[in-house]
């Protein structure tokens, strides 16, 4: 039978041990692997692999020795409990071996779990798993995790008290991070909140999220955007002492002000514009940039972007002017521009 993406969330969390097998396939190897790990853990429990109730069979080895899967399905281990025979990276070449093993399956045998890449609708393996009433075929697409999937992972990690803003931030993370990084981030959040029953906040999500820029660079960008010209000199000196490149700082500044411009020109207002930013902006930084976009307005931000474009061209030209001094001058001009009404 076909297992829809929505139904697979609940099934993988609580699978039926009486089924013959499950086929998990899709173009994203990491997403397929995560789903397979979740399913097998639910079938045999956390100690199943240690108790040798999991037989792992690469498809390449199955091609060479066809009896491997039959042996794994029928063999009884020393430890009691449900067993899984897992065939990894299956292709159409091993489909006849897998399908023959399914035909010989009897109640009490190990459940067969098969993973594969993209499979066409004409695939024998896919068609057979979809056709049988006692097997499932689950297609894993390269879509961001749904709210239900995120809530299931958080609940499994013991995080049920999540604020509305924090959930929005986590969903935004799920849209931009690859599955492995996203799962690691959720694990990090659960460890961060271990033993803490207070609601998860946006600030805590931000603290556990992968960062893209150094805090010192953010300090410079906010100082320029908020018109704090007196702070720019010391902050720039600190960045220069750390070896920050002027061109890199120019790129970060351009990105910051483009985000503000997109937010200020959004039809739904700066708040909605910041919410649509990619990569997502979290917690206090999101509120701060919303205020900046509201204060600047679209037209002044266009002027700031022209200044930054001219500065970037100067930095990349054959000019002999000190690059950090050129960048500092541009930031001071922008900070002074923000003070104009």
User: pLDDT digit string (tens) for 7-29?
Assistant: 888 899 899 999 999 999 998 88
Model-level pTM greater than 0.85? Answer: no
Q: What is the pLDDT of residue 243?
A: 81
The list of the chain residues with pLDDT below 70 reads 176, 211-215, 341
| Nearest by Cα to 267 from 289, 296, 298 | 298
Instruction: Give CA torsion, residues 125, 131, 133, 138, to 10 deg.
Output: 60
Domain match, 234 and 314 both:
yes
Q: Which of 174, 191, 208 is a domain's end point?
A: 208
Domain match, 100 and 177 both:
no
Q: What is the pLDDT of residue 259?
A: 94
Q: Write out pLDDT tens, residues 102-135.
A: 999 999 999 999 999 999 989 999 999 999 999 9
Domain match, 228 and 275 both:
yes
Q: Which of 116, 139, 162 is a domain's end point?
A: 139
Q: What is the pLDDT of residue 212?
A: 47
257: tokens are 């002000």
Range of the domain at 160: 147-208
The runs of H, that is alpha helices, within 141-275 are: 147-156, 164-176, 179-192, 202-208, 215-225, 229-241, 246-264, 270-275
Q: How far apart are CA 43 and CA 54, in angstroms?
A: 10
Q: Give how far Cα 211 sits from Cα of 51, 54, 173, Å.
A: 40, 38, 12
| Nearest by Cα to 38 from 110, 190, 140, 133 | 140
Domain match, 79 and 33 both:
yes
Q: What is the pLDDT of residue 117?
A: 93
């Amino acid at each position: 039978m076909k297992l829809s993406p929505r139904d697979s969330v609940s099934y993988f969390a609580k699978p039926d041990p009486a089924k013959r097998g499950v086929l998990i396939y899709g173009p994203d190897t990491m997403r397929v692997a995560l789903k397979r790990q979740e399913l097998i853990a639910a079938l045999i429990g956390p100690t199943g692999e240690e108790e040798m109730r999991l037989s792992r069979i690469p498809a390449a080895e199955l091609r060479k020795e066809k009896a491997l899967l039959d042996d794994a399905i029928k063999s009884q281990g020393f430890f009691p409990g449900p067993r899984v025979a897992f065939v990894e990276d299956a292709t159409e070449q091993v489909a006849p071996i897998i399908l023959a093993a399914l035909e010989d399956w009897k109640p009490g045998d190990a459940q067969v779990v098969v993973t594969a890449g993209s499979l066409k609708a004409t695939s024998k393996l896919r068609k057979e798993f979809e056709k049988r009433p006692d097997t499932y075929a689950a297609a894993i697409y390269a879509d961001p995790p749904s709210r239900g999937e995120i809530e299931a992972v958080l609940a499994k990690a013991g995080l049920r008290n999540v604020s509305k803003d924090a959930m929005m931030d986590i969903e935004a993370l799920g849209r931009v991070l690859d599955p492995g990084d996203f799962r690691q981030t959720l694990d990090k959040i659960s460890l961060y909140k271990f033993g803490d029953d207070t609601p998860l906040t946006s600030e805590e999500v931000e603290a556990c999220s992968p960062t893209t820029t150094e805090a010192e660079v953010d300090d410079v960008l906010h100082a320029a955007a908020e018109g704090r010209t007196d702070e720019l000199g010391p902050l720039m000196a600190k960045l220069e002492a750390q070896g920050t490149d002027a061109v890199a700082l120019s790129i970060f500044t351009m990105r910051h002000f483009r985000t503000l411009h997109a937010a200020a020109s959004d039809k739904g207002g700066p708040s909605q514009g910041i919410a649509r930013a990619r990569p997502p902006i979290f917690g206090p930084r999101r509120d701060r940039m919303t205020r900046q976009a509201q204060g600047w307005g679209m037209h002044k931000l266009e002027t700031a972007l022209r200044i930054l474009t001219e500065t970037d061209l100067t930095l990349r030209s054959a000019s002999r002017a000190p690059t950090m001094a050129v960048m500092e001058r541009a930031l001071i001009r922008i900070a002074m521009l923000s003070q104009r009404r």
